[in-house]
A and B are shown apart, each in its own frame.
Chain A
Amino acid sequence: MRTSNLHASSFRDPSGTVFLDNGIVKRLINPIYFKQYQALKESGFFNKLFNNNLLIKHEEVSSSDDKIVIEPEQIPFISYPYEWSFNQYKAAALLTLKIQKYCLNHGFSLKDASAYNVTFHKGRAIFIDTLSFDFYKENTPWRAYKQFISHFLGPLVLARYHGAAQLQLIMNYSDGIPTKTISSLLPKTTKLNPFLYSNIHLLAKFESKHNEDESGKIKETSLSKNGQIKMIDALYDYIKNLKLKETTEWEDYYSNTNYSNDSFKKKSEIINSWVEVVKPKTLIDIGGNDGTFVRSISKDLNLALVTDIDNNAVDHNYKMAKENDERYMLPLILDVLNPSPAIGFNNKERASFIQRIKVWNPDITMALAVIHHITLTGNVPFAMSAEFFATFSKQLIIEFPKQTDSKVERLLNTKGEFKEHFNFYNQDNFETAYLNFFNLIEKKQIEDAERTMYFLKIKNA
């Protein structure tokens, strides 16, 4: 196999590797992992994991003495931990613990607990690293415990005390936030909490102590299965009950919005009339808040990626989607002014947001009530935002709030004496810039609102 076909994030585990076969993601298993793979398959444990929606399903496509190839159910868009809201992050952490306990009860154990082993698919968190399972050896501690703390418990507790933005800190570390860093960032009072003291502060102490005086050899340590299960249970219980402190400016956005209910309805009607023509299967909503507009359009969508910068809006969307079992909905955190970069080894391990969107290639892009933020908060010229949307959009529904719109006026007023520098913010300039990249299909003024809706189609498509 050519290395160029290998997935850039699949090199850490010698058990096997992920590769692309004519655009289909497949997984090659090396002989070193055959024993585990056969045991997982023959004991029926793989099937149990599939049936409980814990692990992504796969089928064996070929098997020989030197390699086994499996084809997992394809996931159209892989999201990363730093794009998840607080409760999504919790869901991923709880899933990992749930799997570990389930494993222990069936004679297996997770050999790693990376947050990148989980993604969101069909409305729920799902484990995607099929080769993370190993045999459980009686009375051994959980090898992936520290990784679980660095990837899950640490970021979640930091978010609890310092806000959801802390969940993005993991982007700076290739293997989770170091325990020492988590410990030093937490308030001193957390040392009085026996759970946090033992799982974070004491762990950090032990880690730095044993990093110095050990030769790198692993000492035999023992922990009963029952003990490990208690540890997992306590972690689950703590994380399940973890809540954020912060509130947000956006949460009441729709109750506090510039629209009368009537305009909201009219806006939906305009979008619907366009969507009915396109009949999209895939959609991305940039700045989609809690998904209200995506829910209001009549659709038969396979996947709707609804992004917003605000954790609470994304969290609200995730909760609603989970409660209503809306499997097409994928809420994610995205700062349009600073989308997730490509990170990891050779800058290729985790693709940037833009790279992933380009590959996914959604049928339609929606950008409602967001251009004034990009232009007046981010100071991004129209030509640049048009280019941004053109990199991944086939068709774009974009809303333009005029200078006379109260939200725009407010943003302009915050510019103080530089307000005149932003006179370029008007419909003519907007149209000139966007029509360089797109053809105008239709534009409609929203009645009783200082806003215009545009339906654009990418040129040369």
Chain B
Amino acid sequence: MQFLYFDPAIGAMIIQAIVAAVAGIILFSKNALYKVKVFLGIAKPLSDQDLFDDIDIDDTELEKNKTIEDK
């Protein structure tokens, strides 16, 4: 890796497989729990006043806005 200019952190490279597996389980169980709560009608409504948005970026939205601007 010729572009690497900081501590390569070998341990941190190896561990990511474990971290990702744990993350998979956490996300899966959170999702499952949420579905159960929705089913039982006790899920917290998703707050629309969240200070931070979602991680995902919707490129199609951007394209749409662009075409509107272009017009």
Binding site for B on A (CB under 8 A): 12-15, 32-33, 48, 51-52, 54, 87, 90-91, 94, 97-98, 101-102, 111-112, 134, 141-143, 145-147, 149, 175, 179, 194-195, 197-199, 202-203, 205-211, 214, 216, 218-219, 221-224, 227-228, 230-237, 240, 319, 322-323
C-alpha spacing A15/B22, complex, angstroms: 35
Q: Name the distance in Å between B35's Cβ and chain A's nearest Cβ.
A: 16
Q: Which residue of chain B is the closest to A238 with respect to CB atoms? A: B26
Contact of A231 with B19 in the complex, beta carbons under 8 Å: yes
Whether the Cβ atoms of A141 and B13 lie closer than 8 Å is yes
| Contact, CB under 8 Å: B52 / A234 | no
- 27 examples of A-B residue contacts, CB within 8 angstroms: A13-B5, A90-B52, A98-B55, A98-B57, A101-B56, A143-B8, A145-B13, A145-B16, A146-B12, A147-B6, A194-B22, A194-B26, A195-B23, A199-B19, A203-B11, A203-B12, A203-B15, A206-B11, A207-B11, A208-B11, A214-B10, A221-B13, A221-B16, A227-B24, A228-B16, A230-B27, A240-B50
Other-chain residue from A112, A142, A218, A240 in contact with B1 (beta carbon distance below 8 A): A218
Most chain A beta-carbon neighbours within 10 Å: one of B8, B16, B22: B16
- The reply to whether B55 and A231 form a contact with Cβ atoms under 8 Å apart is no
Chain B neighbourhood of A14, CB < 8 A: 3, 5
Give per-residue flags for B19-38: 1 if the beta carbon is below 8 A from chain A beta carbons, else 0: 11111111100100000000
Measured between beta carbons, the chain A residues less than 8 angstroms from B55 are 94, 97-98, 101, 232-233, 236
B22 & A143 in contact (Cβ 8 Å cutoff): no
Check A206–B57 contact: CB distance below 8 A. Answer: no
Flag if B10 contacts A210 (CB, 8 Å): yes
**B51 on the interface (CB 8 Å rule)?**
yes
With A146-B9, A147-B6 as known contacts, state yes or no: A221 contacts B26, CB within 8 Å.
Answer: no
A175 to B2, CA, bound (A): 20
Contacts A98-B57, A209-B11, A210-B14: A195 and B26 contacting too (C-beta < 8 A)?
yes
Contact, CB under 8 Å: B9 / A12: no
Q: Given A206-B14, A210-B11: A319 and B51 within 8 A (CB)?
A: yes
Describe A's contact surface by its main secondary structure: helix
Task: Please give, as numbers and ranges, the residues of chain A lying within 8 Å of B57 by CB-CB distance.
Answer: 52, 54, 98, 102
Give CA–CA (A223, B66) in the complex, Å. Answer: 36
- Is B27 within 8 A of A234, CB to CB? yes
Which residues does chain A contribute within 8 Å of B40, judged by CB atoms?
none
A87 touches B51 (CB 8 A): yes
* Among candidates B12, B24, B30, residue contacting A207 with C-beta atoms closer than 8 Å: B12
| A223/B11 in contact, CB under 8 A | no
Q: How extensive is the interface on chain B, given as a class? A: 35 or more
**Which of A51, A134, A218, A237 sits near B27, CB closer than 8 Å?**
A237
Q: Which of B19, B51, B62 contacts A203 (CB 8 A)?
A: B19
Ranked nearest first, the 3 interchain pairs of A and B with the lowest CB-CB distance are A206-B11, A234-B23, A146-B12
Check B59 for interface membership: any CB of A closer than 8 A. Answer: yes
Indicate which residue in B6, B11, B52, B56 contacts A12 across the interface (CB closer than 8 Å).
B6
Flag whether B42 is at the interface (Cβ < 8 A). Answer: no
Expressed in whole angstroms, the Cα–Cα distance for A206 and B17 within the complex equals 12
User: A51 to B64, alpha carbons, bound, how many Å?
Assistant: 12
Q: A227 contacts which of B3, B7, B21, B30 (Cβ < 8 Å)?
A: B21
- CB within 8 A of A194: which of B2, B20, B25, B51? B25
Report if A111-B3 is in contact (Cβ < 8 Å); known contacts: A198-B18, A230-B27.
yes
In the bound complex, CA of A207 to CA of B7 (Å): 11
In the complex the two chains form, what is the Cα distance from A390 to B16 in whole Å? 52
Contact A231 B16 (CB under 8 A): yes
**A111 to B3 alpha-carbon distance, docked (Å):** 8
Q: What are the residues of chain B within 8 A of A207 when measuring CB–CB? A: 9, 11-12
Contact present for A231 and B23 (CB under 8 Å): yes
Q: Which residues of A contact B66 (CB under 8 A)?
A: 51
Kindly list chain A residues whose C-beta atoms are within 8 Å of the C-beta of B59: 48
The distance in angstroms between the C-alpha atoms of A296 and B28, with both chains bound, is 48
- In the bound complex, do residue A48 and residue B5 qualify as a contact, i.e. CB atoms below 8 Å apart? no
Q: Do A143 and B13 touch (CB < 8 A)?
A: yes
CA A141 – CA B18 in complex, angstroms? Answer: 11
- A47 CA to B6 CA, complexed, in Å: 28
Contacts of A223 in B (CB 8 A): 16-17, 20
- A48 near B15 with CB under 8 A, answer no
Q: How far is the CB of A120 from chain B (nearest CB, A)?
A: 14
Q: Let me know if B12 and A145 touch, CB within 8 A.
A: yes
**Interface contact B16-A218, CB-CB below 8 Å:** no
Contacts of B6 in A (CB 8 A): 12, 112, 147, 175
B4 interface residue per 8 A CB criterion? yes
Q: How far is the CA of A40 from the CA of B14 in the complex (A)?
A: 28
